[in-house]
Amino acid sequence: MAQPRTLAPLLALLLAACGQSSAPVTEGGGGPPLMEGAVPAARCGPGSLPETGLQGQVPLEDRVGERSQHGYQCNLERVGQYQGQGAGLQFTWHGDCGYFNTSFPNLSTVLNPGGVQVLDVSDPAQPRLTGQLRTLAMLNDWESLKASAQGLLAGVAGYEPVGGFGLPFFDVYDVSGDCTQPVLKASVPLNLPSGHEGAWSPDGRTYYASSTYYSTLTAIDLSEPESPRLLYVGLHPVHGLSISADGNRAYLAQPGNLTTNLNVDGLSTTVANLLAQIGAVSPFLGNGLTIVDISDIQARKPLPQARVISSLFWADGSLAQTTIPITVKGRPYIVFIDENGQGGVRFIDIADETRPQIVSHVRLEAQLAEHRSRVANDGASNGALFNYEAHYCDVDRTTDPTIMACSEWASGIRVFDIRDPLRPREIAYYNPPAQKGKAAQLPHSFHAGNVFLRVPLGTGQGLLALPGGNGNVVSPLALDTDWCTANIRIIPERGELWTTCHDNGFMVLRFTNGVWPFGS
């Protein structure tokens, strides 16, 4: 295990980043999207427990009564679970193992820190806890917990003033051997802004950390995992990101539109003004995709620069979450997910990377503007910031993918046929049972403790929306749905999905009624 040490000098790297040349930036997509409205809904087969309202909706009457406690499923069933004491925002995997983080340290977990939970899932019906990682970054790694294909597990402490506590540490473990027993390679203090999201380069040599609050992108060299080395720090408005197969492009999700598009009427201006007072700039910027040339970093050039190639922004979405590069019949696309503002998911054609164009939307009925008044009060007792939004999606493969699975907060896990990215359709969903009355049993759930809102820590109290946009109050959370936010592992050979939701913890889901894998 390497001893903690400060990484390379920050000042020279920041100066190099600030001196980068300016590349052409395009706004707009050269034409309207080809697909609007909601995607065709899944046709539920035998054994399903279908939704009772709009596609993706858990109606208020289901929440007030007992219906939401039974969950909703369509062509997906749960075959295994490890609930533990709840889950945080992120899940990742390697081999037969799963790793999920827990909610951030708070008053209810001072003597019971969660950290990252290590699971043996060699028997999908009986996932088994084999350990907990409690080094400094692993106690609070927000959305940055990621495993590389080569078997390194890493995360950055989420110490941003809004949305995280902790010291600025970067942790890396080796899980390439016995994945149930991660080996600590380094726990290193980072002398730079960091701590929200992250992504690996496909070759496993570079970990990219993002700071949404500080609008920075950081590249860390892990050619020698015991000695992480800082390569680059640059000013880039970014939430999540992905890296191209050759490592030469970064596809950044630039979060913006917070002042106009947040989910809760009357809350957006309050949050945006707070962020402005303490220095954050992203909420006031355009919301969308930025394509960046990172070939200098990939090539390990001295004083590397990251050059913006193009940007594409839109008004119908906010808090841009992350991206996935895919290729369909030789044509490159970006799958883009918005975290808020009912933006949902969209496909962006990047055949000409200087002029990216939106070609389709993947939205549920509950996300459409025309239904906003109908769903406005559904989540009023369940936490005010999030309700029927997307968060993370994954595909079964990046070349000619067949399905996309998405975690969509109170809408649960949604699965779409994307063989034709211009005409996606829903094929299955699983929205786990609400855990009403169980907040005290779930101190590590990001949702049950509502730690994101900090009112106050670990008490089960949350910021609740009043009807009609008439403000917000602090009150016990109803837990009348779960929140699903994590990455999803898709296992074609078994027709399985692995993921977590905050209150239900880790789950193994299996497709039913022959909806997937598709026949030849």
For residue 1, is it within any domain?
A: no
**pLDDT at position 284:** 65
Answer yes or no: are the C-beta atoms of 484 and 497 closer than 8 Å: no
For residue 520, is it within any domain?
A: no
**pLDDT at position 195:** 80
Strand partners, 76: 511
**pLDDT at position 229:** 94
For residue 5, is it within any domain?
A: no
381 band by pLDDT with thresholds 50, 70 and 90:
confident
Q: What is the pLDDT of residues 73-129, one digit of tens each?
A: 999 999 999 999 999 999 999 999 999 999 876 655 667 789 999 999 999 999 999
pLDDT for residue 190 is more than 90:
no
pLDDT for residue 352 is more than 50:
yes
Q: What is the pLDDT of residues 403-436, one digit of tens each?
A: 999 999 999 999 999 999 999 999 999 999 999 9
**What does the alpha-carbon distance between residue 516 and residue 49 come to, in Å, rounded to a whole number?**
18
Q: What is the mean pLDDT of residues 22-34?
A: 43
pLDDT for residue 13 is more than 80:
no
pLDDT for residue 11 is more than 90:
no
**pLDDT at position 105:** 64
**pLDDT at position 380:** 74
pLDDT for residue 24 is more than 50:
no
Dihedrals φ, ψ of 97, to 5°? -115, 150
Number of independent structural domains in the chain? 1
Q: What is the pLDDT of residues 480-504, one digit of tens each?
A: 999 999 999 999 999 999 999 999 9
For residue 149, is it within any domain?
A: yes
**Segment among 2-16, 141-155, 282-296 with least mean pLDDT:** 2-16
**pLDDT at position 208:** 97
Cis, peptide link before residue 517, omega less than 30° from 0: yes
For residue 2, is it within any domain?
A: no
pLDDT for residue 6 is more than 60:
no
**pLDDT at position 159:** 62
376 band by pLDDT with thresholds 50, 70 and 90:
confident
pLDDT for residue 348 is more than 50:
yes
**pLDDT at position 270:** 46
pLDDT for residue 467 is more than 80:
no
The CATH number covering residue 188 comes to: 2.130.10.10
> 136 is in which domain, residue-wise?
10-511
**pLDDT at position 279:** 47
**pLDDT at position 302:** 96
**What does the alpha-carbon distance between residue 212 and residue 193 come to, in Å, rounded to a whole number?**
10
pLDDT for residue 392 is more than 80:
yes
**pLDDT at position 112:** 79
Nearest to 115 by CA among 129, 104, 130, 107: 104
Q: What is the pLDDT of residues 206-215, one digit of tens each?
A: 999 998 888 8
192 band by pLDDT with thresholds 50, 70 and 90:
low
Q: What is the largest CA-CA distance in the chain?
A: 62
For residue 3, is it within any domain?
A: no
Q: How many residues does the structure list for the chain?
A: 520
**pLDDT at position 285:** 79
Q: For 29, left (φ over 0), alpha (ψ -120 to 50), or beta?
A: alpha
Residues 6+ away with beta carbon under 8 Å from 31: 357
**pLDDT at position 390:** 97
**pLDDT at position 160:** 56
**pLDDT at position 194:** 62
What one-letter code names the amino acid at 260? T
DSSP 369: G
223 band by pLDDT with thresholds 50, 70 and 90:
very high
pLDDT for residue 457 is more than 60:
no
**Each residue of 274-300: b (16+ CB within 10 Å) or e?**
ebeeeebebbebbbbbbbbbbbbbbee
Q: What is the pLDDT of residues 34-54, one digit of tens each?
A: 557 999 999 999 999 999 999
The model's pTM is 0.89
Answer yes or no: are the C-beta atoms of 116 and 101 closer than 8 Å: yes
**What does the alpha-carbon distance between residue 59 and residue 41 come to, in Å, rounded to a whole number?**
17
For residue 227, is it within any domain?
A: yes
27 band by pLDDT with thresholds 50, 70 and 90:
very low
